[in-house]
Structure 1
Amino acid sequence: MARVLIMEDEPNIAFVLKIAMSEEGHEVRTCQDGLCGLQQLEKGPLPDIVLVDLCMPRVSGRAVVEAMHKNQKFQEIPVVIMSGSIPDARNFPPANSYRTLITKPFDLFKVLEIVNELTTSQCLAVS
């Protein structure tokens, strides 16, 4: 079981992801914007993986990813970016700050596969 933090401003997408990951046995928290997501990271417990939408209100997904990358406490947490469009390079976080990009609409089974793969490899690295 992994702790998953989902930052997604579209309630239906967040709901579907939460249900699917919970059914896989993961402990899931959701936030509807980047500010809430950053607060959850600070509050803890730290997630094993973060899924973040790039376009969110208050604090963008790019800003969240960059803040995580700059903070040593969060640098080892795998980040998966979700986006309905591929933004230009100016709006995209540095490539070394996230693990993979999932484009919307996405295949739910592929998302679960990515989460399971990244959290399993994370557990193996810690063991």
Structure 2
Amino acid sequence: MRSLILLVEDHVDSREMLEEFLTLEGFAVEVAGNGLHAWERLRRGPTPDVMLLDLMMPVMSGWELMERVQKEPRLKNLPVIVVSGAGATRPVPQGIRASIPKPLDLDDLMRALEPFRSQSQLAAAY
């Protein structure tokens, strides 16, 4: 079974590129264009294995989303990897497993995602 990533990114080109790349790497990917869409998805659906989160977004920022996630008992242990250029302007939110600056280095991203690869993905990679 493929690991599920919730990709939260407002920039359409970046979101589409990452979705395609992660799918080719063997992950199942769901996308949200802002924090509010991600929050709605997290509340109604199964918990993803990991969330990739941009911090600076319209409607609801990544910081606001993380505040809500941390208050929700079912979600507070959700692994989150920040992929954002905003880390230098504000502290990274609590509960973050890794922070990867933009412009994104795909090797850094894959290193951060390695713990979330399923056994079937690892077997398929070799």
- TM bin, normalised by shorter chain, reads 0.7 to 0.9
Alpha-carbon displacement from aligned partner over 1:9-65 (angstroms, at most 9, x marks no partner) = 011111111111111111101111100000110111210000110000111100111
- The number of aligned residues is 116
1:87 is aligned, of 83, 86, 89, to 89
The amino acid that maps onto 1:84 is G
What is residue 16 of structure 2 aligned with on the other side? 15
Distance in 1 of aligned mates of 2:44 and 2:114: 24
Distance in 2 of aligned mates of 1:112 and 1:15: 17
The amino acid that maps onto 2:113 is V
Q: CA RMSD in A?
A: 1.5
| TM-score, length-scaled by structure 1 | 0.84
What is residue 6 of structure 2 aligned with on the other side? 5
What is residue 44 of structure 2 aligned with on the other side? 43
Identity within the alignment, %: 30
Instruction: Map 1:65-84 to 2 at 5 A.
Output: 65-84=66-85
The amino acid that maps onto 2:93 is P
CA contact (8 A) 2:8 2:52 kept: yes
Distance in 2 of aligned mates of 1:88 and 1:26: 30
Alpha-carbon displacement from aligned partner over 1:54-93 (angstroms, at most 9, x marks no partner) = 000111100111211111101221001121132233xx42
Q: Runs of 4 or more off by more than 6 Å in structure 1?
A: none
> Structure 2: which 5+ residue stretches go unaligned?
119-126
1:116 is aligned, of 100, 104, 114, to 114
The amino acid that maps onto 1:102 is I
- Please report how far the alpha carbon of residue 2 of structure 1 lies from its aligned counterpart in structure 2 after TM superposition: 0.6
Distance in 2 of aligned mates of 1:93 and 1:110: 20
CA contact (8 A) 2:100 2:108 kept: no
The amino acid that maps onto 2:55 is L
The amino acid that maps onto 1:28 is V
